[in-house]
Structure 1
């Protein structure tokens, strides 16, 4: 789940300039799945680096299909996708970040998923729902992430606490105990502002019973928004969390030295801790999001989409099946440690036995999707502004919630 500063409105403007419409499609004969052909695929970040290995193995079993993978950096992914869509040059298959989905579905450049070939029940519900736009499914979930709580168990024991916090009161108590009894500098790391601060706040909002969109409109000024903003701001008001952080701040270093004993993040941090802070082995754990009225995080990750203009849709569907069935997902986890979107892939090996990974599975089972909205980038930035206003003491939670609602009202269609 990734975002750039370039907004959906820019994409729509470009699309209008180049004449992209919702009908899409270039016509012409499509190539059968088993005919000799080259399938073009764009993948981002680490996935782009690793997918070439899978493509080579795939060709050995499917000699007529050459899968040409182009790695794309996440920092330029949005711009490249917008430009390719505008020019009618999207690859046959593209990795699509969850916050991009609504935008590109609205542009009419994606082929709807054949739900007879890909079953909703195979995937985590929130991962599937993140690909649904106006009742149509446009992507097949590839890998997932969600946010959970990371905490130093050794320092918690020093503070007299021997179990993970299960609710907001226990979370606040642990943050205070870290400072008061284990003498840590901070109690927890939460993002006070900057791009994508909403990713730290959203689990509080969802756990308070919030819904981002209700009856087709933003629902950001209700009781759940006020309660979650109040709880979130309390950590800054009490001096338990830093009010100021630099862009690109690496919490893992401070987690390792003990100055920040607790933070909320995604599954990639398990690898970061193991590789960069090996001295912490056996001294930390992951736990589900502490509950407000529920323990609910949000679902992130990426899906795989097919270009509406592709002449290789049959081969594209077969390749996506290979990547998203239980066997392919288990293999992909071994290559990348990306968490499988296919639930059956979790039933064997480390995914079934590692206690920290089990936390992510249980959290995904109750996670909520981020609605696939064309203007999510703009909506997210408005939420970021509201979060900053409360963490910096410039607005009350009630004022910030009203600001979020009014600022996003015109961005949901």
Structure 2
């Protein structure tokens, strides 16, 4: 998954909550505290982001001195289990930062307060960031920051290989990978063949062919012609020896990129700073480009985090004010400046902080065309099935037959 990956223990914890018949929340609004009252607003933030959230919360408190914001850091590796346990015990905070692939589970638990769309206008946000939070026409989270993918490639090695332009299509991407390999690279490109998070590698292949994870009938669409073509294209890199077939946990792609061993990979915006800091010797020798296009264009998936308020909170008015504060264009641009997380609010991209980068326009363009990951209750299990299918294809399994088995394996994981 993205940086906001769920622990697989979430599945067990969720099952426990459901088996006990414990809907996460369900309190009414009778005991609500007004926004102007003196109060403490509790929020869970994840990892390093929680520390930065504490800092920006101080600015909020200066404007709203009656509201003390208490931020509790929670690790991404344990957040799913911790939230489901807190839901069962009735000890959830007022609000939280929630990763994109977590939304479906907590919507299904009836844990989240619907968003007031009179206060938050979905037109202010990139469509995929908003759609990720919607079930049955109701939104349960306000997009905070976005995560989208682009292509990183070594321009110096490409030019030596006779490839002077960025690869605009998957065919051109494949040809560049071949050229890299012929000119001494260990692998032509980095593609994760399987294991946790590999679905992120395959979705651009699927979406750029016009495929969907879930069809209009509410069922998985993983054996569609588009899905089969996505598996075929994905598998061709391994069949042709251009990508490594086995996944190595902890492998440093930035180091391999800097050494020219793997001169091309897909990743998010944070890698720009990582490369600048960790691989200064290749400054000016690499670029970021939109993901290669399939038959339906260049299409990334969008992830990131949204801000949610829990149903049992007695401080919903204060939570709404804090959410408004964090999603203004100016604060979104400031958040990018301190965290390098992309703004979900479209107007933030016009702020001064967003104007001094050659790479940001690429990510903005990607956000314009990106598609959401549907908020599925059993996303973790669903993703595991995709990743196992990817691994089989990477090792030579027939794409069509694998897609057919994947369809059957996922049908029971989706409520229809």
Provide the C-alpha distance between the structure 1 equivalents of 2:386 and 2:10, rounded to a whole number of angstroms.
Answer: 15
Q: Residue 133 of structure 1 corresponds to which residue in structure 2?
A: 135
Runs (4+) of structure 1 exceeding 3 A deviation are 7-10
Provide the C-alpha distance between the structure 2 equivalents of 1:289 and 1:353, rounded to a whole number of angstroms.
Answer: 22
Provide the C-alpha distance between the structure 2 equivalents of 1:316 and 1:247, rounded to a whole number of angstroms.
Answer: 38
Q: Deviations over 1:21-59 (max 9, x none)?
A: 6x7125532111111000001000221121110112211
TM-score scaled to structure 1, two decimals? 0.97
1:391 and 2:394 are equivalent in the alignment: yes
- Provide the aligned length of Structure 1 versus Structure 2: 410
Provide the C-alpha distance between the structure 1 equivalents of 2:194 and 2:333, rounded to a whole number of angstroms.
Answer: 36
Secondary structure of 2:20's counterpart equals: helix
RMSD: 1.3
1:308 and 2:311 are equivalent in the alignment: yes
Provide the C-alpha distance between the structure 1 equivalents of 2:178 and 2:353, rounded to a whole number of angstroms.
Answer: 34
1:147 and 2:149 are equivalent in the alignment: yes
Provide the C-alpha distance between the structure 2 equivalents of 1:202 and 1:298, rounded to a whole number of angstroms.
Answer: 7
After TM superposition, the structure 1 = structure 2 runs for residues 9-408 of structure 1, keeping only pairs within 5 Å, are 10-17=13-20, 19-20=22-23, 24-180=26-182, 182-214=183-215, 215-293=217-295, 294-393=297-396, 395-408=397-410
Question: What's the offset of the Cα at 1:6?
Answer: 2.3
Contact 1:8 1:103 in 2 (8 A): no
Contact 1:15 1:85 in 2 (8 A): no
Provide the C-alpha distance between the structure 2 equivalents of 1:160 and 1:3, rounded to a whole number of angstroms.
Answer: 42
Question: What's the offset of the Cα at 1:245?
Answer: 2.5
Where in structure 1 are there 5+ consecutive unaligned residues? none
Q: Deviations over 1:238-274 (max 9, x none)?
A: 1111112311222111011110000011111111111
Contact 2:333 2:353 in 1 (8 A): no
Contact 2:205 2:234 in 1 (8 A): yes
Where in structure 2 are there 5+ consecutive unaligned residues? none
Q: Residue 8 of structure 2 corresponds to which residue in structure 1?
A: 5
Contact 1:7 1:378 in 2 (8 A): no
Provide the C-alpha distance between the structure 2 equivalents of 1:137 and 1:13, rounded to a whole number of angstroms.
Answer: 26
1:411 and 2:406 are equivalent in the alignment: no
Provide the C-alpha distance between the structure 2 equivalents of 1:184 and 1:349, rounded to a whole number of angstroms.
Answer: 39
Question: What's the offset of the Cα at 1:14?
Answer: 1.6
Closer/same/farther in 2, CA of residues 350 and 170 from structure 1, 3 Å limit: farther
Provide the C-alpha distance between the structure 1 equivalents of 2:197 and 2:239, rounded to a whole number of angstroms.
Answer: 21
Farther-moved stretch of structure 1 (31-40 vs 330-339):
330-339
TM-score scaled to structure 2, two decimals? 0.96
Secondary structure of 2:80's counterpart equals: helix
